Amino acid sequence: MAGTFVGRKTELALLRKRLDRVETDRTGLAVTIRGRRQVGKSRLVQEFCDRADVPYMFFTATKGASSAEAISDFLTEIRDSPLAQNPDLVPASAGGWPDAFRALASALPDALSVVVIDEIPWLAEQDALFDSALQTAWDRLLSAKPVLLLLLGSDIHMMERLTAYDRPFFGRADALVLGPLTPADTARALDLAGADAIDAHLISGGLPGIVRAWPRGKAPLAFLEEECADPASVIFSIPEAALLAEFPAPDQARRVLEAIGGGDRAYANIAATVGGSQRPLSSGVLSPLLRRLLEEKRVLAVDEPLSVRPGKPALYRVADTNLRLYLAILRAAQDQARRGRPEAAFRLVQRRWKAWRGRAVEPLVREALELATIAGGLPWPAQAVGGWWNRQFNPEIDIIGADRAPVAQTIFFAGSIKWLGGPFDGRDLADLANGAVAVPGFEPGHAGLVIVSLGGVSPELDIGKSDVVWGPSDVLSAWA
């Protein structure tokens, strides 16, 4: 897989559509592309530039560089790019970003071109006037040229601020949010199907850098065993680098993230783990940290009980399954690998894998069911799929389908995910039926049942005609 480009047909088509619009209108168009680190923004744009077959410039900012250094590198990139028909006319230095953008405008050809500025947030950190300089240059100079301007950044909060209503570049750019590869993309790239494809997606988090390093057809656990012999493997280095980039110092925010990655999902448990059981972290400290991790860093997701009444507690999880796996299992395995003990590293993975996978697959299954029901692939008009639990987590219902979330008006179905052990049997069905009646708004006889099982269902199981049974291939097909 090394060196190949994976998926992203939709995103490439969206960028091509905008380049065609620039060619037709003969005026500039700007697009911001944001997404978490390692999701493949730079690789996507490089692939687009290679396929576009027009002159382009690709400038990547350096974190920590001074504004003067960044401007000097920017001018060098202009001079060395195909945009500059006469490189000698590009100045070696400039007094600030306004002069640098004027140099860019002068170098742009009258023909179609692409300009890429990667890691925009780092430039804005270096120079408080960068946003204003970009806006002025775009309005007065760049937008008059047939150029597609692509602005990339991994700091999602800062990228959103770039085009916020109170910022200079507001209303001047389309926005493209780049997420991980879909499970279907992962399956196609690795030539895997069913449960193996789902496992590969959970391990890789849909991150192209890991998928490209994965040999086609290699079974997930065989891949992990092979990689455990290499402490610098991408399954270790990519999440480790993301963690260090987002949290360079082991502060409280990082400790909260590590607690959640280690399995503490409820608010009280997180507070006790981070602060200590004798002095749990106070709500005045923990709540702002959770908001920062959810809203600014976007490294967490939160699940709330779904029913016709508000429910508690909310449960937190690490949004990226690769980082979640690293915090829960792979970081300890990496320590063993670094000590020259690959067999011990893989044994640790084997011991923890099934339990971790059984919990990690649940949000993926819910997302698949939601996609399927919105597309009309299930016999109910549900628009939201979640789970339900009470404060005692007894019962805990894996799947709830409703008209909206987190407080619904109508519950259409309840369900169970069995991703451990053997097939779904009569005892499992009885547990589901008995537990579902505790969900506020669930009405037996009116709401249906959904079974999602890794090992299928027992042959003697009496499934109602209106109920739904899914296996791994059905989950995967939701993204087809």
Comparing CA positions, the residue from 120, 133, 135 lying closest to residue 171 is 135
Output 76 or 37, whichever has higher pLDDT. Answer: 76
Residue in the block written with tokens 């960028």 = 15
Q: How confident is the model at residue 322 (pLDDT cuts 50, 70, 90)?
A: very high
Cβ atoms within 10 Å, residue 260: 27
Comparing CA positions, the residue from 336, 293, 306, 300 lying closest to residue 321 is 300
pLDDT (tens digit per residue) in 63-118: 888 999 999 999 999 999 999 888 888 888 888 999 999 999 999 999 999 999 99
298, two tokens: 């976007």
Region 428-447 average pLDDT: 95
Q: What is the mean pLDDT of the chain?
A: 93
Largest CA distance in the chain: 80
Q: How confident is the model at residue 265 (pLDDT cuts 50, 70, 90)?
A: very high
Per-residue pLDDT, 37: 84
Per-residue pLDDT, 3: 54
Domain limits, the chain: 9-177, 183-292+319-358, 362-477
Cβ atoms within 10 Å, residue 453: 22
Quick one: which H or E segment has residue 470? strand 468-470
pLDDT (tens digit per residue) in 353-387: 999 999 999 999 999 999 999 999 999 999 999 99
Region 258-276 average pLDDT: 94
Distances (CA, A) of 348 to 234, 260, 354: 18, 20, 11
Q: Which residues contact 365 (CB under 8 A, 6 or more apart)?
A: 398, 399, 417, 452, 470, 475
Least confident of 238-242, 277-281, 287-291, 373-377: 277-281
Specify the 3-state DSSP secondary structure of 147. strand
pLDDT (tens digit per residue) in 134-176: 999 999 999 999 999 999 998 888 888 888 888 888 889 999 9
Comparing CA positions, the residue from 44, 56, 38 lying closest to residue 14 is 44
Per-residue pLDDT, 461: 87
Per-residue pLDDT, 443: 95
Q: What is the CATH number of domain 362-477?
A: 3.40.1350
- CA 200/CA 207 separation, integer angstroms: 11
Above 80 in pLDDT, residue 464?
no
Task: Write out the DSSP string of 412-455.
Answer: EEEEEEE-SSS-B-HHHHHHHHHHHTTSTT--BTTBEEEEEETT
CATH of 9-177, one of 3.40.50.300, 3.40.50.10420, 3.40.50.2000, 3.40.1280.10: 3.40.50.300
Region 237-253 average pLDDT: 89
Per-residue pLDDT, 249: 81
The whole-model pTM stands at 0.91
On the CB side of 221, how many CA atoms lie within 13 Å of its CA? 11
pLDDT (tens digit per residue) in 391-420: 999 999 999 999 999 999 999 999 999 998
Region 190-206 average pLDDT: 97
Cβ atoms within 10 Å, residue 284: 7
Distances (CA, A) of 101 to 33, 224, 419: 20, 47, 55
Per-residue pLDDT, 247: 87
